[in-house]
Structures are given as C-alpha cells and as structure tokens.
Amino acid sequence: MLNFAALKKLIMKLIKGTKLYSIFTGTCPVCHQGDMYLENNPYKLSKIMKMHDNCSNCGKKFKIEPSFFFGAMYVSYGVGTAIAIATFIIAYFFLGLDRNYTFLVIIIALSVLFPYILRISRNIWINIFLDYDKKIAEQ
C-alpha cells in the first residue's frame, strides 16, 4: 500500500529538475539543493520572511536586485484568488453552504494558508527569473 511519505517522495522524484520542485520545496531555483529560507516551516511567523542571501550549495544570490521580492505581491494576488475560487467551489457547490458561510470559509482558508501563499508566491516569482542549471546542480 502506498503511504503519504512514499507518495511525496515519488512526486518529488518526478518533478526534480523542473521549476515545480523549487517552487514546492523552497530550494534554490538554480541547483535545487540549497534552502532559500532560514526556517523551513512557514508557520513560524517571526521567521517567515527571513531568507539566506546566497545559496549554500551554488552561491547564487537570491535577492537579484533591491526590493526584488516586492514583485511577489502580484503572484500572491493570483495565488490567493485561485485558492479563494477553489474554496468557493468546494464550499458552495460540494458542501452546499449558503453564500454567507461560503464567504466565511473563504476568509478562514485564506487566513490559515497565508504563510504558504506568501512562500509559494516568492518561490514562483524567483523561478520566473532564474532557471535550473543541471551542470551547476551536479557539481
């Protein structure tokens, strides 16, 4: 029987070398090995924004230019909207909640998931500008 840990390991193996790997694991977009964040758990809110300056593995600078991660706000808007729409579909159509409860569920979902939305948005943003480099990864 397939358990969650084995399934996660399989998925990570399949997406290794793609931008999805860096986006979902928070690793360096160039080598997929060094961590971008000082703290891997996004729910430790005091450290949520703290990032390494450079990749510990390949030395790539994460903050490409001053205020680089401000652009992640635009991505965050898109990710938040996608989650709100998905929550609406689940709550309104599948669970059959009325409009007011659906609205409440959307607010709760966005509040609870905000650390993940923030991290995922930053990861997507940096992956727009930096690409995986197999040569650097194998060094």
Residues engaged in binding Zn ion (CB under 5 A)? 28, 30-31, 34, 55, 57-58, 60
Lookup result for tokens 């729910």:
43
Neighbours of 56 (CB within 10 A): 12
Q: Give me the least distance between CB of 60 and Zn ion, in Å please.
A: 5
> Which residue, 41 or 56, is less far from Zn ion as judged by CB?
56
Q: Give me the least distance between CB of 138 and Zn ion, in Å please.
A: 12
In whole angstroms, give the CA distance from residue 19 to residue 23: 6
> Which residue, 38 or 112, is less far from Zn ion as judged by CB?
38
In whole angstroms, give the CA distance from residue 139 to residue 137: 6
> Which residue, 20 or 110, is less far from Zn ion as judged by CB?
20
Query: Token pair of 73, please?
Result: 């706000």
In whole angstroms, give the CA distance from residue 55 to residue 63: 11
Q: Give me the least distance between CB of 33 and Zn ion, in Å please.
A: 6
In whole angstroms, give the CA distance from residue 138 to residue 133: 9
> Which residue, 19 or 60, is less far from Zn ion as judged by CB?
60
Q: Give me the least distance between CB of 77 and Zn ion, in Å please.
A: 28
